[in-house]
Structure 1
Amino acid sequence: MSLKANWSYPTAIRFGAGRIAEIGEACAAAGIKKPLLVTDKGLANLPITASTLDLIAAAGLGRAIFSDVDPNPTEHNVAAGVKVYRDGGHDGVIAFGGGSGLDLAKMVAFMAGQTRPLWDFEDIGDWWTRADASVIAPIVAVPTTAGTGSEVGRASVITNSETHEKKIIFHPLILPKVVICDPELTVGMPPMITAGTGMDAFAHCLEAYCSPHYHPMSQGIALEGMRLVKDYLPRAFADGTDIEARGQMMSAAAMGATAFQKGLGAIHAISHPIGAWHHTHHGTTNAVVMQPVLLFNRPAVEDRLEMAARYLGIEGGFQGFYDFVGELNAGLKIPANLTELGVKDPDIDALVASALQDPSVGGNPVEMTVENTTALLKACF
């Protein structure tokens, strides 16, 4: 079976090995003549980035890069990127990298023409309508990991450096115009990052599937996304050059981000403040807290996860699904708890308060309170 296709859902996606060669055509399709490639510090000097810049230059689109992006990008990174974008007279952004690079790139394209401060556009009510939609720059997204699915998302997660809170900035027009999903770009991912990003995709699918909100399209996508992770993440972890496994994991990542329009839950509500305060890897943190959250939500999701287990070929209903998650984590060498992950001297009360403010709370199947969230967080250590 050839893993190559063009999709127009949820946006235009050019999927397949070697398709980074179409970056010039993708920019033309998005109406970009002078792009700024935005990526993170770790990717900036890697061969895949240099060769992509060569392709952009060969297409007559210049050779501009911004890479001052932290692992949990902040408003300061956004401001620095916007300055480079404006000073360079750019007319669009190529978002290149993992979740942090993609999220930051989308915010550069979004904020380059705005006059209001970033936090005015937080994903609260209809705050997104405050933005001047006519000056949002077009985006071409090129993921180099298989996890966040930010390449098909209409939001970015940015950390407020003063309050240590992760904030979600939303606007429909930061959905990239064109996406290139080339699994060859993920071959160099170290096993640890393959595991963490892959479990991020699984967490997106799992939480969307369990969310009580009504969205049957997302429900179906989430279920198949979980199956792809189950079948292909161990293969990608064991052999980073397995292009079929890499491709299927890229699909799972995009599916997770498409599915979580239905909602996220306690996994993300806990993971966001831990990442903001303790600078842990987001996907790995999701994996670490996944089993405690499953137990927390068991009364509300037992029947639903029994159905999922049947589809995934897992015996034993809810308990079988729970055990499978533990075995998957162990096989991927995920730390057993937050203590092993390196979270030292946590301020439980502050983390709980932050978790209960997180937008993901509303999608959890069990209502989260100070009391039960405190118990849940303590169970993660």
Structure 2
Amino acid sequence: MTLPIANWNYPTSVKVGAGRASELPQWCASLGMKRPLLVTDPGLAALPMTVKLLDSCRSAGLDAGLFHAIKGNPTGKNVDDGVAAFKAGGHDGVIAFGGGSALDAAKAIALMAGQDRPLWDFEDVGDNHLRVNVAGMAPVVAIPTTAGTGSEVGRASVITDEREHVKRIIFHAKMLPAVVILDPELTVGLPPKITAATGMDALSHSLEAYCSPFYHPMAVGIAVEGIRLVKDYLPRACENGSDLEARLQMLVASSMGATAFQRGLGAMHALAHPLGALYDAHHGLLNAILMPYVLRANQSVIASRIGLLARYLELPDPSFDSFLDWVLEMRAALGIPHTLAQIGIDAKEAERIGRMAHADGSAGTNPIPFTPQAYAGILVNAVEGVL
């Protein structure tokens, strides 16, 4: 028997608790920041909590700036514009504040602040990460305001290449934020639909990591508990946005999902990435819709391990079908559409999307190495609602 060989990495310093966003100035200062740039999205930029964070930094003697020109699916131009703002303001660190888009853009801006190569030279392909001038990277404090992507504990950013209409993963190990603050008070105003879509994204991360064939037992354990937290707390967070316990546990589940997916992702993300690039659709919602169709496509390989997961979740019947029924029932209860057609996506580009999904980095750790034609077939099923 050949024993496995693997490289494992784990997250960073995480500060968990209600009200802990007030500690932001001290953590910025601990990283040597004097002029941090707070990077967020346009929707958050003018909200009182953003103004409060900036004021707290300035009251502590930090000359904090603001950049918010970021799309829902951040683009290379967004990153370039952010780097220009970083340099123009003489900034020395980044505060990544917001949902996955803002966090991804912020981390990419911090990476690119001191590079002399273009962004796409650092795409997660081969040894491209060795091109990074590590000394030129800026430190990052990350504060998520949604519970889904887990980007706050990730070492990569997903950025859209608008010219090629593809999403590219920009990677370097030191893109991992130095400090993360998980404060549930910042998420209480998130609308139920966004809470549901981002929460299902967290579920997709843990679920795909759990099903990955890559050897990483610790990630498996984290994934299983992350899935349980989503089962127990996502419905509560959607029903009552002021439920701080549910909000906190979903933030934790989100970070756990992104920690677990060091084990790899799979066909949900392989399809969601090109769909997001081509249709500018919400990433978490795409994963939520695709989930049952991908589970069914992988059933022949994952049925036994899904049965074990169903037992841990205390479902009525510890089986694949019981787990799939739970996913379908929770999606319906949260108002997640059953098909891609319901969000305006048809199957006209199925063959193209199938090829793009097959080429996506997430496809490499799907339990079954699907062909482009198989990916196209999953997409058609997700459009037509065929399980």
Query: Normalised by the shorter chain, which TM-score bucket?
Result: over 0.9
Aligned twin of 1:220: 221
Residue 259 (structure 1) aligned with residue 260 (structure 2): yes
The answer to whether the Cα contact below 8 Å between 1:221 and 1:255 also exists between their aligned partners in 2 is yes
* 2:62 aligned partner, one-letter code: L
| Whole-angstrom distance in 2 between the partners of 1:355 and 1:173 | 27
Aligned twin of 1:168: 169
Superimposed CA distance per residue, residues 324-358 of structure 1 (whole angstroms, 9 cap, x where no aligned partner): 00001001100111000221464112111111111
* 1:70 aligned partner, one-letter code: K
Partner of 1:380, secondary structure, is helix
The answer to which of 339-348 and 20-29 deviates more is 339-348
Superimposed CA distance per residue, residues 300-339 of structure 1 (whole angstroms, 9 cap, x where no aligned partner): 1000000000001112210000000000100110011100
| Whole-angstrom distance in 2 between the partners of 1:33 and 1:319 | 55
What are structure 2's unaligned runs of at least 5 residues? 1-8
Aligned twin of 1:273: 274
Superimposed CA distance per residue, residues 190-233 of structure 1 (whole angstroms, 9 cap, x where no aligned partner): 11110000000000000000000000010000000000000000
Aligned twin of 2:49: 48
Aligned twin of 2:200: 199
| Whole-angstrom distance in 2 between the partners of 1:29 and 1:63 | 15
The answer to which of 364-373 and 81-90 deviates more is 364-373
Which aligned pairs between 1:29-178 and structure 2 lie closer than 5 A?
A: 29-178=30-179
The answer to whether the Cα contact below 8 Å between 1:152 and 1:257 also exists between their aligned partners in 2 is yes
The answer to whether the Cα contact below 8 Å between 1:229 and 1:249 also exists between their aligned partners in 2 is yes
* 2:345 aligned partner, one-letter code: V
Aligned twin of 2:5: none
375 and 345 in structure 1: CA distance in 2 versus 1, 3 angstrom threshold: closer
Give 4+ residue runs of structure 1 displaced > 6 Å after superposition.
Answer: none
| Whole-angstrom distance in 1 between the partners of 2:348 and 2:20 | 44
Overall identity of the aligned pairs, in %: 55
* 2:188 aligned partner, one-letter code: V
* 1:173 aligned partner, one-letter code: K
Partner of 2:312, secondary structure, is helix
Superimposed CA distance per residue, residues 67-95 of structure 1 (whole angstroms, 9 cap, x where no aligned partner): 00000000000110000000110000000
Aligned twin of 1:283: 284
| Whole-angstrom distance in 1 between the partners of 2:211 and 2:348 | 28
* 1:256 aligned partner, one-letter code: G
Partner of 1:36, secondary structure, is strand
Give the superposition deviation at 1:293.
0.3
* 2:344 aligned partner, one-letter code: G
Aligned twin of 2:373: 371
Aligned twin of 1:361: 363
* 1:307 aligned partner, one-letter code: L
The answer to whether the Cα contact below 8 Å between 2:354 and 2:374 also exists between their aligned partners in 1 is no
Give the superposition deviation at 1:119.
0.6
67 and 323 in structure 1: CA distance in 2 versus 1, 3 angstrom threshold: same
Partner of 1:32, secondary structure, is coil
The answer to whether the Cα contact below 8 Å between 1:29 and 1:178 also exists between their aligned partners in 2 is no
The answer to whether the Cα contact below 8 Å between 2:347 and 2:380 also exists between their aligned partners in 1 is no
Give the superposition deviation at 1:269.
0.4
Which aligned pairs between 1:214-363 and structure 2 lie closer than 5 A?
A: 214-316=215-317, 317-344=319-346, 346-363=348-365
The answer to whether the Cα contact below 8 Å between 1:36 and 1:85 also exists between their aligned partners in 2 is yes
| Whole-angstrom distance in 2 between the partners of 1:346 and 1:139 | 41
| Whole-angstrom distance in 1 between the partners of 2:189 and 2:242 | 8
346 and 39 in structure 1: CA distance in 2 versus 1, 3 angstrom threshold: farther
Partner of 1:232, secondary structure, is helix
| Whole-angstrom distance in 2 between the partners of 1:371 and 1:93 | 42
* 2:102 aligned partner, one-letter code: G
| Whole-angstrom distance in 2 between the partners of 1:185 and 1:303 | 39
RMSD: 1.1
| Whole-angstrom distance in 2 between the partners of 1:188 and 1:56 | 23
Partner of 1:314, secondary structure, is coil
| Whole-angstrom distance in 2 between the partners of 1:163 and 1:226 | 35
What are structure 1's unaligned runs of at least 5 residues? 1-7
The answer to whether the Cα contact below 8 Å between 1:26 and 1:140 also exists between their aligned partners in 2 is yes
* 1:229 aligned partner, one-letter code: V
| Whole-angstrom distance in 1 between the partners of 2:185 and 2:194 | 15
Given the two structures, how large is their TM-score scaled by the length of structure 1? Answer: 0.97
| Whole-angstrom distance in 1 between the partners of 2:45 and 2:355 | 36
- The count of aligned residue pairs is 374
| Whole-angstrom distance in 1 between the partners of 2:346 and 2:47 | 32
The answer to whether the Cα contact below 8 Å between 1:69 and 1:104 also exists between their aligned partners in 2 is yes
| Whole-angstrom distance in 2 between the partners of 1:268 and 1:39 | 24
Give the superposition deviation at 1:279.
1.1
The answer to whether the Cα contact below 8 Å between 2:42 and 2:70 also exists between their aligned partners in 1 is yes
| Whole-angstrom distance in 1 between the partners of 2:303 and 2:177 | 36
68 and 346 in structure 1: CA distance in 2 versus 1, 3 angstrom threshold: farther
125 and 9 in structure 1: CA distance in 2 versus 1, 3 angstrom threshold: closer
| Whole-angstrom distance in 2 between the partners of 1:346 and 1:56 | 50
| Whole-angstrom distance in 2 between the partners of 1:369 and 1:349 | 11
